[in-house]
Amino acid sequence: MSKTTLARHRRDMRPNGRNWPLLLAAFIITGGSAKTSTIIMLAVTLALRGYKVRVFDFDHQRSASHILCAMDELPAGHPTIWELMHGASLEECSVPARYVSVPANPGASTQDDPQAGNAQYEMIEGLSIVPGSRNVKNFDTESAQDGMLLTWFRELCDAYDGDDDVWLLDLPASLSKLVVSALIPFQEEDEIVPPVLVTSKEATDLKATFEELAEMRKQQNARSRIRKTEPTIKHILMCGTPTPSRPDSEGDLTVAAMKETYGEHFTLHTVKWSGVIRQQHRRQAPVHAFGNRNAAPIEDYNKVATALGFQDLNPA
């Protein structure tokens, strides 16, 4: 891509001439529904396409931080998203994303080399993460006492003057005050992508997610006339869909029902069931690090990335 096209494209990452990057969140009010998997896959896919990407781990379970190795060997007291909410700077709270390339070997002798047996890491260029914190569980109580806390993320957006292209938010599974605080800066150009794991009850939760987001939009916009909160869903992911080698009649029925219900107004995408995607938590590495660049989930998420409007910025 030429430098001019690149520059023009990068401006698109600042919709409405604003100073903060495009926002993208995986959100549905169901636990265990591929939200973190989606954020990790898109984050790495976009970083490999040449975008400057930052992940924010809003979940007290910190799965995204675990997969991107943002918790390992963090110096004690290193600021996390909790400190970010309380005024620490974005740069001091962020760490470069990486993955375990050689797992730790606790049995190795450290006689000659004190570092022997330590895990080894590879960096993921262009990708950083604000590590999660268990303390976020206290957000709702604290923000009930201090109403100003609810707008911390919008203030962060307003003050941002860096060159990130896109911020990806890994959110927990309910529209708590914490999640509301994350979604307040969302405008129509930003995206909330609900991942629906098609083998469970989640298609029903999707309907409830739409209703809760609509209610949140109404409440926030009744409060603030300065800038509208427009959490917008245009794309829906159907994750863990059946494959020839892994047929699943409940999955087929859910996909058919979702197409019927949502196909007219939303773009639906399938992300096939994949054993390799399940390994990323355990191996502390995104699927892209496993060596097979054509793995099915990479292919599927590449299509999603393109549909979301992200081109490959790397020169041909």
Ligand X SMILES: Nc1ncnc2c1ncn2[C@@H]1O[C@H](COP(=O)(O)OP(=O)(O)OP(=O)(O)O)[C@@H](O)[C@H]1O
Question: What residue ranges bind Mg ion (CB under 5 A)?
Answer: 35-36, 63
DSSP per-residue codes, 11-66: HHTSGGG-SS-EEEEE--S-SSSSHHHHHHHHHHHHHHTT--EEEEE--TT-HHHH
Judged by beta carbon, residue 9 or residue 281, the one nearer Mg ion is 281
CB of residue 2 to ligand X, shortest distance in Å: 36
- In the complex, what is the shortest distance from the CB of residue 195 to ligand X, in angstroms, rounded to a whole number? 7
Spatial separation of the C-alpha atoms in residues 124 and 269, rounded to whole Å: 26
Q: What DSSP assignment string belongs to 260-281? A: HHHTTTSEEEEEE--HHHHHHH
User: Which of 65, 80, 274, 302 contacts ligand X by CB under 6 A?
Assistant: 274
What is the C-alpha separation between 23 and 44, in angstroms, rounded?
15
CB of 172 to ligand X, least distance (A): 6
* Polymer length in residues for the chain: 316
Residue closer to ligand X, measured from CB, 64 or 84 = 64
Q: Is 37 in the site for ligand X (CB under 6 A)?
A: yes
Side-chain half-sphere exposure of 41, counting CA atoms within 13 A = 29
**Looking at 13, 166, 277, 304, which residue binds ligand X (CB under 6 A)?**
277
The backbone torsions φ and ψ at residue 79, rounded to the nearest 5 degrees and listed phi first, read -65, 145
Distance CA 296, CA 304 (A): 13
We find the least distance from the C-beta atom of residue 33 to Mg ion, in angstroms, to be 8
x/- map, 160-179, ligand X, by CB under 6 A: -------------x------
* Three-state SS at 299: helix
Contact stretch for ligand X (CB under 6 A) within 76-84, 122-130, 267-275, 306-314: 267-275
Under the binding rule (CB under 6 A), the answer on residue 239 touching ligand X is yes
Name the residue type at position 315.
P
Q: How far is the CB of 235 from ligand X (least distance, A)?
A: 16
Selected from 27, 273, 301, 310, the binder of ligand X by CB under 6 A is: 273
How near is the Cβ of 248 to Mg ion at its closest, in Å?
22
Q: Which residues would be at the binding site for ligand X (CB under 6 A)? A: 31-37, 59, 61, 63, 173, 239-240, 271, 273-274, 277-278, 297
